[in-house]
A = this chain, B = another copy of it.
Amino acid sequence: MDNRQVVIESLPEDKLSVDNFALRTASVPDPDQGEILCRTLALTVGAGQRAALQGSAGYAGAPRSGVVMGGTGVCRVVRSNAADVAEGSLVVCQSGWQDYSVHPASALRTVDPDGDPAHHLGVYGINGLTAYFGLFDIGDPQPGQSVVVSAAAGSVGHLVGQMAAVAGCRTVGVAGSEEKCRLLTESLGFDAAVSYRSPGYRHEFREACEGGIDVYFDNTGGEVLGSALRRMNLGGRIVCCGVVSQYDTSNPAPGPRGIPGLLINRRVRMEGFLVFDFADRYGEAIDSMRGWVNEGRLKPLNDEFHGLEETPRAFVDLLAGGNVGTRIVRIAD
């Protein structure tokens, strides 16, 4: 039985390309005592993974070539040498971009086997959890306040805006095309949406944010962060979640003008977080989100590719802004 793997062939000099990856075939690993062999059913690809291919800015330590590309998958347990993990159960783990992987029981999160397994990579996975804890714990939105989110049609952003509406806020999304903006306002209930690629962006953003911004959920950094900074209300919060505008380059831009001056004048708090710090509260978040999904107040969107060999293309396209919702690559049923 073969184990197909997507490995990092070379580190990107500037923009990532599919040529930075290669497909190879290895043998399926054997689980030791206490370990579990997992079959990847689906992977999610996120812009934050681009950072792992950088130097010191990487989330996942120093990048290396010749290793299997890391990533989160939802998997079926095919062999278990651990008493507390049943064969056939569904788990989420750092499978990497490969068909099979081996993990200790402590590295798996067992998830509800009902429904589409891919949901555990989207709304009930890292993307939903990131949106939830970033918005509620870091952003602290209050009813009637204004919440702006960048990369608003993205895996995290489209959930942030909908959850802010659940919290009683006015929601504005910034996205990369008119088409995405229409989706946000017409299908996902955003109060307004602005394309940062529009020639009239600055004016349109100012109009959409009339009354100022209380919570800005930043997935992009760069120019959109700069425009939000200038519209923050007194006591506003900036949730630093991602820097997608800066990932796909080896020469990051300087920070936005007005830092720290605007933070002082408007008493703004700007705070970074990683979802993993909230691991002991994932259950609470998933329960809340499941309730909102069942009530129809939270519509999770997936954006799918098919086949392990398509994962590099799914990733490169994502970095170019091609996705709407959570990018999923289905590997097996």
* Residues of A bordering B, CB below 8 Å: 51, 57, 59, 218, 221, 225, 238, 240-243, 246, 252-274, 277
Contacts and interface: CB of A to CB of B under 8 A. Distances in A.
A264 to B, nearest CB: 4
Given A51-B261, A269-B272, 16 more contacts: A57-B261, A59-B265, A238-B260, A243-B260, A252-B258, A255-B259, A263-B270, A264-B273, A264-B274, A265-B274, A266-B272, A267-B271, A269-B269, A269-B270, A270-B271, A271-B271
Given A269-B270, A270-B271, A271-B270, A240 B255 contact: no
A252 to B, nearest CB: 6
Contacts of A262: 57, 272
A194 B234 CA distance: 34
Given A254-B256, A256-B254, A272 B264 contact: yes
Contact of A255 (B238, B242, B258, B273): B258
A58 to B, nearest CB: 8
Contacts of A264: 240-243, 272-274
A186 to B, nearest CB: 30
Given A255-B254, A269-B269, A240 B221 contact: no
Copies in the complex: 2
Contacts of A268: 271-272
Contacts of A270: 259-260, 263, 269-271
Given A254-B254, A255-B254, A267 B272 contact: yes
A269 B267 contact: no
A69 B17 CA distance: 59
A268 B240 CA distance: 9
19 contacts: A51-B261, A57-B261, A57-B265, A218-B260, A221-B259, A241-B264, A243-B260, A254-B256, A254-B257, A255-B255, A255-B258, A260-B272, A262-B272, A265-B272, A265-B274, A267-B271, A269-B269, A269-B271, A269-B272
